[in-house]
Structure 1
């Protein structure tokens, strides 16, 4: 028997994981994987549980179950450790950007089969100051909506909660002064609506926002939106839906494995949809740092 530690968020995806847990455990057990469970109790708990599982040893794999935030916490618990076991993921959150980019199915039976088959893929991990992310990092007013939506509201109405928060944010669009210094790029000092550092091509449900981003190429795809008014912003969103926004004069786009961002203003960081501290920040790539079933 292989041993697995399953760390799950009982409130993710309208509490789907809580309902499916017995079936998942039975399916894994039938395939020779004995899983013990940890239900998260609040912010940071998944990080502590993942770190404890790696430190204790004896686990052949760790499985995260929840949304992008739960996955981010589990990776933050693992990333600093040595001799890391592979990571499985059941995407039962609201947006599931990372799973969409990696082709990880939402159906629990298909997820179990993916883990049972043992198909592993190395993935890059980004580091922002002392925190880690696998999908997206960013800053600016529009990046705040993902962690400002209450978890109870996401449980009740799902993706609609983000749309409602986004409409609220659009009425208060304001630029932020940013200084961006990146390896191989000229320094940028301008007013920006937001900046995004993508590690995959799926960001906030937009699958063409960073169309060239790859999880294993050792590079970030950086997109920064310069100061614009509401009609210009709406036009850019329309272009982004088709993947035609990167050549717009309001958009700065480049690729790098290291960058620093500072600002005279108070700018919060978004890491995989969760609050990840404030600027200033240093972002560096850790190429193929983890292995994941995908």
Structure 2
């Protein structure tokens, strides 16, 4: 029997998810895994748990949202001997899980996972702090972690929308900054900066149609809209088409990005969670040490290296 550790937040997820989690050890046993269930009890607990696991663990499943996966991968990068990671979506948004092709049915998702393929996945870093799919800064982006858990449980995705509408009454924050992409230095005033390795953000799919999770690259999107009217117009265009050629947007595909704010910019958001810091300079890089077990469904879309993949 192979050894599997499931890390989950007992406070998150729908009632049906919690019921299915209780049945998970039996389901995994059928698939030849002995399973240990590890509930988290506080923030960053998943990081601690993964970092302290024995080396004989064959698979770590982060059963939760994007933030839980971030914590698990952070803990794995702290290890000398890295473990194979995976995600089982349980949460409100699940951008990463949806990108991989998971459904809303946990039992179906488990079968997709155990029949999946181990892939080398790029992990983006901001000043040596990992993030799985998005680092962003700007007005209103903090709704992902400022929306009360009670509202998320009651209203689901609508809770984020309600909170965003409330925050939208505030002023658009602008950042004067210098940045460098592939050795070319530039400067300007921007309202938002997104550094991503995903085709989906905030519940919106196909923002980029050509992203790969193993190409040693990430996407940078810088928005120069300075008023709410400009932002609304821009958001409408983003939802309707390709972002790379739109006025008001600067797009780069790179693995060499540095940014320096003229003043302390406040917190970034990493994978939906707050990233506090005491600097105004940030360097973005990629770590290539992570392997994940992922469903076969969207592998052709998401990866460049397909040598070990067969749809049979």
What range describes the TM-score normalised by the shorter chain of this pair? over 0.9
Q: Deviations over 1:24-72 (max 9, x none)?
A: 211111221111011111211111111111xx22211101001111111
Query: Partners of 2:88 and 2:267 in 1: how far apart?
Result: 28
Does residue 90 (structure 1) correspond to residue 88 (structure 2)? The answer is yes
Does residue 247 (structure 1) correspond to residue 245 (structure 2)? The answer is yes
Does residue 102 (structure 1) correspond to residue 104 (structure 2)? The answer is no
TM-score by length of 2: 0.87
Unaligned runs of 5+ in 1: none
Which residue pairs with 2:290 in the alignment?
289
Q: Deviations over 1:60-104 (max 9, x none)?
A: 110100111111111111123233222121101111111111223
1:157-168 residue pairs with structure 2 within 5 A?
Answer: 157-168=155-166
Does residue 124 (structure 1) correspond to residue 125 (structure 2)? The answer is no
Asked whether the 8 Å contact 2:182–2:257 carries over to 1, the reply is: no
CA displacement at 1:23 relative to structure 2: 1.8
Does residue 177 (structure 1) correspond to residue 147 (structure 2)? The answer is no
Q: Secondary structure at the match of 1:99?
A: helix
Asked whether the 8 Å contact 1:6–1:62 carries over to 2, the reply is: yes
Provide the alpha-carbon RMSD of the alignment. Answer: 1.8
Query: Partners of 1:16 and 1:10 in 2: how far apart?
Result: 12
Does residue 22 (structure 1) correspond to residue 22 (structure 2)? The answer is yes
Asked whether the 8 Å contact 2:225–2:231 carries over to 1, the reply is: no
CA displacement at 1:288 relative to structure 2: 6.2
Does residue 6 (structure 1) correspond to residue 10 (structure 2)? The answer is no
Query: Partners of 2:40 and 2:291 in 1: how far apart?
Result: 22
Q: Deviations over 1:166-196 (max 9, x none)?
A: 1122222423224242342533322211100
Regions of 4+ moved over 6 Å: none
The 3 A distance-change label for structure 1 pair 293 and 46 is same
1:75-224 residue pairs with structure 2 within 5 A?
Answer: 75-184=73-182, 186-224=184-222
Asked whether the 8 Å contact 1:121–1:291 carries over to 2, the reply is: yes
Asked whether the 8 Å contact 1:140–1:267 carries over to 2, the reply is: no
Query: Partners of 1:102 and 1:224 in 2: how far apart?
Result: 25
Query: Partners of 1:181 and 1:108 in 2: how far apart?
Result: 42
The 3 A distance-change label for structure 1 pair 200 and 180 is farther
Query: Partners of 2:6 and 2:250 in 1: how far apart?
Result: 40
Unaligned runs of 5+ in 2: 296-312
CA displacement at 1:239 relative to structure 2: 1.1
Asked whether the 8 Å contact 2:223–2:250 carries over to 1, the reply is: yes
Matched residue count: 292
Higher mean alpha-carbon deviation, 270-279 vs 180-189, is at 180-189
CA displacement at 1:250 relative to structure 2: 0.9
Which residue pairs with 2:47 in the alignment?
47
Asked whether the 8 Å contact 2:219–2:252 carries over to 1, the reply is: yes
TM-score by length of 1: 0.92
Q: Secondary structure at the match of 1:260?
A: strand
